[in-house]
Structure 1
């Protein structure tokens, strides 16, 4: 199993090819390709490469699926014995990123399997 740990949107995420992840909003249009070069760690089978701080020549390629908003977080502030109450809500802007491949020095070490959208996937 191959995976990488990347730094994107102010967070560090463990990513695998063929999976999608919710990250902080990126300025890219849906269905655009996106390349992340801030790769902290790459694991390919038994080989582990750790960067200082980033792995040289390592990239993670993906596709922007959509932009959406996260769940609402309610912030309620109250001061006792005063008539002060504040209720605010916040919804974080998110981007859904599908990871297609992980590559080191131009060689893909892990790629997502291509699935035909017209053919239904049946669990066996």
Structure 2
């Protein structure tokens, strides 16, 4: 059975499924996650859409009684983004880059109206 949710996290919309992990940029509730803190439980209330089989619930803008529960696993880095600045007539080139700081989390369950949506 197909079940997923679309959540608003870090200013972006993300399609999540239970049992999978995702890398996100911002968690507004947690400023700094140390390397020793693992399995911090998180509940996300900004759920835009829930699909459970053929039943679809759409919020305006969010669903009232919907929660996506998960755990923060560890901080990680994304791919390196390289920025090059080239001044054509001056023969001046500059290249620098950075790696985005991400947080990896796993989705444990999707709840709607106080009940967990499980495969049946």
Contact 2:5-2:49 at 8 Å conserved across structures: yes
List per-residue Cα deviations over 1:69-121 (Å, max 9, x = no partner): 1111110001112143221111100111100000012110138xxxxxxxxxx
1:20-39 counterparts in 2 under 5 A? 20-26=21-27, 27=30, 28=33, 29-39=37-47
Deviation (angstroms), 1:9: 1.3
- The aligned counterpart of 1:87 is 95
Tell me if the contact between 2:9 and 2:26 (Cα under 8 Å) persists in the aligned partners: no
Displacement of 1:31? 1.3
User: TM-score, normalization: structure 2?
Assistant: 0.86
Task: Say how many residue pairs are matched.
Answer: 111
Contact residue 30 and residue 67 of structure 1 kept, 8 A: no
* Runs of 4+ deviating beyond 4 Å: none
Unmatched tracts of structure 1, length 5 or more: 112-124
* C-alpha separation in 1, matches of 2:19 and 2:54: 20
In the alignment, which of 104, 110, 115 is matched to residue 107 of structure 1? 115
**Separation in 2, partners of 1:68, 1:61:** 20
What RMSD in Å do the two structures reach over aligned CA positions? 1.4
Match of residue 64 from structure 1: 72
Counterpart in 2 of 1:5?
A: 6
Indicate if the aligned counterparts of 1:25 and 1:67 stay in contact, CA closer than 8 A.
Answer: no
